[in-house]
A and B are shown apart, each in its own frame.
Chain A
Amino acid sequence: MTERSAIRRIYEDHYKALMIIPFLILVLAMGQIAYQYSTTGEFLQRGVSLKGGISMTVPDAVADIASLEQHLVSVLPQGDFTVRSISSTQGVVVDASDVESAELISAVTEQLGTLSKEEYSIEQFGSSLGSSFFSQTLKAVLWAFIFMGVVVFFVFRNFGPSIGVILAAFSDIICTLAVVNLLGIKMSTAGIAAFLMLIGYSVDTDILLSTRVLKNKHGTVMSRIYSSMRTGLTMTFTTMTAVIIALVLSKSTTITEIMTILLIGLVFDIIMTYIQNVGILRLFVEKHHGKHH
């Protein structure tokens, strides 16, 4: 019991110091992205759907990913390959650029055994479509942020809380992106859609928090924070349940990618909302209403 109240004490009294954690994570994330940009020229890794190439999916194959990749590299040295499995036990997805689809199919069947047309699916992406989609969705992300900022400002009419919400959403996206990069996940069109979803979602929890803290008039600031935490964490955990179940059972790379990004984003959302945003809100409340409320 004393441990729990010790944690509570730290959370309640040392909130300013605690804010170092999310900001540190944010700085590290931005560092990762900057590093990525300086070494590869892009701040994320683009999959074949965004830069051109072929994607071949064999959902029921059980194969050793490493040896398949080795085989492909040795047979088709000019190609750039990413081989991954769909779920932990089965399924193979090969993304390749600079190879022909016929070459890829024969190289893969050499390793996995003959495949009938019913056992795999193939998608080919022209590079120009991918890059234009990429730049368009980046713009979409930007607009989503701006609109969100406007709406939030409109609702709270004050700089402080609006910054809190926007910063939390921003940090959420940046940190998720950094982890995605570190995990070596290559972005596809579906992945970008997942990021857009994430913006909407993380804003949800932050708005809930800020609305309750600022607009409710009863109880103390801390009690209001705790009550929104209870609601917010329930929300996040229910969504996580849906996402984790889908992630575990999925046989499709599209769904797996979307759910992975959402899961990572949800975890960061908890940190950003309840440490970073809370900290900013409390600073704001202090400034405006004095320390004892």
Chain B
Amino acid sequence: MASTTKKLLTNWRIILVIISLVLAAVAINPQFDTDGVAIRSIIKDSPAALSGIENPKERAAPTSLERIIAIDNQDVNSPEEYQSIISALDPNATVTIETDRGFYTIFTDPVLETEVIGEENQTVEEVVEVDQNGTMVNETVTFTKLVNITSSKVVGTADLGIRVSEVSATNLVKGLDLQGGTRVLLEPEEPLEQQDMDSLIENLKLRLNVFGLSDVIVRDAQDLDGNQFVLVEIAGANEEEVRELLAKQGKFEAQIGNQTVFRGGEDITYVCRSADCSGIDPNVGCGQSAQGFSCRFQFQISLSPEAAQRQADITSKYPLLTGDAGDSYLSEPLVLFLDNDEVDSLQIAADLRGRAVTDISISGSGAGASQELALEDTLVNMKRLQTILVTGSLPVKLNIVQTKNISPQLGDEFLNNAILLGLASILGVIVFVFIRYRKLSISLPMMFCMVSEVGLILGFAALFKWNLDLTAIAGIIIAVGTGVDDQIVITDEILEGDQGRSLSWREKIKRAFAIIMTAWGTTMVAMGPLLFAGAGLLRGFALTTMAGITFGVLITRPAFAKGVEIILNK
């Protein structure tokens, strides 16, 4: 027994299996301490971002994410606990966050509700960069205008801006099926050169990041006919938010009387997204409408000097009209178009005519069945418009061809089910094999091989950050099922040698492997197209199957043959 073990452990094939398994374990990096919650993303310019917490890199390994251990000395161990602690925080206060890398101090922001309580004349100073004649001046102009007096009250604490999830126990990247999220597959309306495709992808990523989603994967994909696609996967996001953002080309234009005054992108140098110059319009607020409620939003933007001058030139051509309340407006409104649909129409005040004003207020609206829903819709619309103005328009229009949305709880359920399936199948096969051969000296090595193959596939998956989804799990189960088959072929060749054949050991193994190699070849060819067909959506299945049989043929099955040889003492 001892010498057999020694022989086993010194054989190079078996050593190879052991080394590969160790490498796989390193790649998978199993964690035993899963206290705390993992930080998946930090929203830009949020209170958390300002305190210095780093936003994790895009494809960071799951076990390398920074973890929050305690907030204000209270232990945090699940996303639910995190949410309940956060919702109880005071506004305009400091919060101490303890992570596994150190301590951070966050200043909380309040959520304000603004009410209009009156009007008054106010003397306002504005800085004008370009005057009526087109010369660049930097002068401060003083004039009075009627403004609303508002009163704001604090109604709550703004979100800190940290998106958290359960701490990952391994480096295995769970696909959408297993962790929840949204996947959208888009097809460009026109074919794109590779560099246009690259810039399209960069723009989409930027759009999603600016919107506040940073746990995103955006990549290009192709199918066998050469059609191009863009695949977007966002963990934990809501499908509705994302569809609009991705499908809109985002051509933003402001026109007066069919002449373009400014466009999204270059013409806009700054878009305000903070509470002091963006939000629900305090002058209008929310009100009832035909279908329920509607609210208006507004936010400030700054135009480039050239765009401001263009506005001055265009507005100076139009006459003024006097409105009901005695104030004067330009005869033509400023109409805002997004992707050729009108989103808003603004009156231009008389005092702006011919003046190159760089600060402009953009407004729009949202609606809903109740005031709460209307408020939500309005803020989302505002966020989208802000995002599009910041990132500019996409080079080409995209059509959504497929979407998939799974909640994280469902993902968890599928994951547990998948693990159960895997273990149960392996167990079933081991029992069957034992019944068939009735020798532990055969069944144990077979079991060791099966488990090693699963380990190697998972290690490979962790190393290359494959998305493990349900079809990939199916692939693993099948690879194990067929891996056992090859071991059965080897075993039977060996056992039947007991009937006194003239062939040498080598010959038998060679023959067994001839059969195995042919099977390997056909499966590789059959799975090959799946890597690319249909924009690679079955890639997980193809990869796990191909990896499984390849590792089997190269590493585990030869080791098995050698192992059985040693154990049966041939």
Q: Contact: B471 with A258, CB < 8 Å?
A: yes
Q: Among the listed B485, B525, B533, which residue makes an inter-chain contact with A147, where contact means beta carbons less than 8 Å apart? A: B525
Interface, chain A (partner B; CB < 8 A): 59-60, 117-126, 128-129, 132-133, 136-137, 139-141, 143-144, 147-148, 151-152, 155, 189-190, 193, 196-197, 199-201, 203-204, 207-208, 211, 215, 218, 227, 230-231, 234-235, 237-239, 241-246, 249-252, 254-255, 258-259, 262
Residues in A whose Cβ lies below 8 Å from that of B470: 252, 254-255
Beyond A242-B481, A252-B417, A255-B470, 9 extra complex contacts between A and B, CB < 8 Å: A60-B413, A121-B410, A123-B402, A125-B402, A143-B525, A199-B526, A231-B488, A238-B432, A250-B421
Tell me if A152 and B529 are in contact (CB < 8 A).
no
Interface size on B, residues (CB 8 A): 74
Contacts of A147 in B (CB 8 A): 521-522, 525
Contacts of A243 in B (CB 8 A): 477, 481
B92: Cβ under 8 A from any A Cβ: no
Most chain A beta-carbon neighbours within 10 Å: one of B177, B400, B488:
B488
- Indicate which residue in B399, B426, B529 contacts A136 across the interface (CB closer than 8 Å): B529
With known contacts A190-B471, A241-B429, A139–B489 Cβ distance under 8 A = no
Whether B404 and A124, one on each chain, are in contact in the complex, defined by CB atoms closer than 8 angstroms, is yes
Q: Does A118 contact B408, Cβ atoms closer than 8 Å?
A: yes
Complex interface: chain A residues within 8 A of B526 (CB): 140-141, 144, 196-197, 199-200
Given A126-B401, A144-B525 in contact, is the A136-B425 Cβ separation under 8 Å? no
Report A-chain residues with C-beta under 8 Å of the C-beta of B291: none
Rounded to whole angstroms, the CA-CA distance of A223 and B409 in the bound complex is 56
Q: Which residue of B lies closest to A257 (CB)?
A: B474
- Report the minimum CB–CB distance from A238 to chain B (whole Å): 5
Question: B272 an interface residue at 8 Å Cβ cutoff?
Answer: no
In terms of DSSP, what is the predominant structure of the interface of chain B? helix
* Bound-state Cα–Cα, A189 to B540, Å: 13
A-B contacts, 17 of them at CB < 8 A, read: A59-B414, A60-B413, A118-B407, A121-B407, A126-B402, A129-B534, A132-B225, A140-B528, A189-B534, A193-B530, A204-B485, A231-B488, A246-B421, A246-B474, A250-B417, A251-B414, A254-B177
A80 to B76, CA, bound (A): 48
- Which residues from B are CB-within-8-Å of A189? 534, 537-538
Contact between A123 and B522, CB atoms less than 8 A apart: no
Question: Contacts A129-B185, A189-B537 hold; do A230 and B525 have CB atoms under 8 A apart?
Answer: no
Residues of chain A within 8 A of B400, CB atoms compared = 126
Q: A242 to B478, alpha carbons, bound, how many Å?
A: 8
The CA of A122 and the CA of B181, in the complex, are separated in Å by: 11
Q: Knowing A136-B534, A251-B417 touch, does A238 contact B481 (C-beta < 8 A)? A: yes
Q: Known: A193-B471, A252-B177. Contact between A245 and B492, CB under 8 A? A: no
Residues of B within 8 A of A242 (CB): 425-426, 428-429, 477-478, 480-481, 484
Known A-B contacts A140-B526, A203-B519, A242-B429; A133 and B421 likewise in contact (beta carbons under 8 Å): no
| Min CB gap A121→B, angstroms | 4
State in angstroms the CA–CA spacing of A259 and B501 once bound together.
39
**In the docked arrangement, what's the CA distance between A230 and B522, Å?**
23
A125 contact set on B, CB distance < 8 A: 401-402
Contact A234 B492 (CB under 8 A): yes
